Amino acid sequence: MPAIPGALPFSFAFDPASTALIVIDMQRDFIEPGGFGAALGNDVAPLQAIVPTVARLIAGARAAGLPVIHTRECHRPDLSDCPPAKRLRGAPALRIGDAGPMGRILIAGEPGAAIVPALAPLPDEIVIDKPGKGAFYATPLADHLARLGTRTLIFAGVTTEVCVQTTMREANDRGFDCLLAEDATESYFPAFKAATLAMIRAQGAIVGWTATTDAVLEALQ
């Protein structure tokens, strides 16, 4: 069975036949200038910088025959799945549903809600539209993973401390072994990313493991 001996907090063994890669929310609204991330006052450059690394991880997973699952945080056009408490929080320049440079912010089908072109899903890959931070909430993700016979999940995407961590915790509660590719995830706040990586692997991998993309790809080969 392949293993990643350099994973933290200790070696991570997995069976590729029951492993899937989940790429969280690599969307234009979060990663490109003018999107929702920028409207919240964030510098999107750190998120843009990981796109090539995420692309390498996706390519390696595809070559190894792993299912690649993509998620998008977005809402129905009538906002019926977006609680007012979520839409009205804070004081951003643009709110969910408002018209922005890439269409309505975080609305399904709008250009800004699309995954960045460099990471575009293949036609046969699963794409999960999720109304919450976690990818299991109000989505068919669990059903897809059960159908695939998945027991191990490798994660990448943004942002580390919000949607990535939330989904990993949801997966951990459902019995999956989880590993986060630490250089294929990013936050608008470096300290938040560092803290999240530490929390994930604390107390003997209480949520999961972390490893570099190179280490994951080496194990897949």
**Residues classed as catalytic:** 25, 130, 163
Between CA 92 and CA 201 the distance in angstroms is 33
Exposure on the CB side of residue 99, measured as CA atoms within 13 A:
0
State both tokens at 66.
């792993």
Q: Which residues contact 208 (CB under 8 A, 6 or more apart)?
A: 155, 168, 172, 177, 178, 179, 180, 200, 201
Would you give the end-to-end CA distance of the chain in angstroms? 12
Who contacts 73 (Cβ-Cβ below 8 Å, separation ≥6)? Answer: 25, 27, 106, 113, 130, 131, 132, 133, 163
Phi, psi of 116, deg, nearest 5: -55, 145
- Side-chain-facing half-sphere of 183: CA atoms under 13 Å: 13
Greatest C-alpha distance within the chain: 50
- 41 by Cβ neighbours in 10 Å (0-12 / 13-18 / 19+) ranks as exposed
